[in-house]
Amino acid sequence: MTRIRKLKWTGLALAVALAVAAPAFASQSRTITIHHQKRGCHAWALTAAGPYKASLSVSLKHGTTLKFVNNDVMPHALVQTSGPNVKVVAPAMRRMGATASVRFSKVGVYHFTTKAGDDYKWASTTKTLGEDNVLRLTVTVR
């Protein structure tokens, strides 16, 4: 067996190991992205591709960590409004790309909203249409 063939087999074994590990990892962590949009200023979605909505409902398996990324032009503080008590890690999200996270270990229905701050200085000329959306999130953990 040539050296090159041996290397190929090692690569294949590694690719198979990663493919097996990836789905298990993906089921334990999901990401909600807050983005800026012209109508309503902001919305959020469970995948970066959307669909973006002001009111979002997601269903998760217990043990999942939900990560939040704030890509809006203003700060968003994540606030839990109902449901079993959970710890929100780094809820303030005061700059673009800031993240917060919540791990859901208990089954139940949780509600969240965000408290939006003022536009960042560099974004103060950003024009939007209509009232700013109030972001609402329902998380059903089973």
Binding site for Cu ion (CB under 5 A): 41-42, 72, 74
Give the shortest CB-36-to-Cu ion separation in angstroms.
6
Least distance (Å) between residue 96 CB and Cu ion? 11
Shortest CB 4 distance to Cu ion, Å: 54
Report the C-alpha gap between 90 and 51 in whole angstroms.
25
Question: Nearer to Cu ion by C-beta: 42 or 44?
Answer: 42
Q: What are phi and psi of 70, to 5 degrees?
A: -100, 100
DSSP 43: E
Query: Based on CB atoms, which residue is closest to Cu ion, 74 or 102?
Result: 74
For Cu ion, which is the closer residue by CB, 56 or 72?
72
Cis ω before 75 (30° cut-off from 0)? no
Q: Give the separation between CA 102 and CA 134, rounded to whole angstroms.
A: 20
Residue partners of 31: CB distance under 8 A and separation at least 6: 46, 47, 48, 66, 67, 68, 69
Q: Among residues 42 and 46, whose Cβ is nearest to Cu ion?
A: 42
- The answer to whether 78 and 114 are in contact (CB under 8 A) is yes
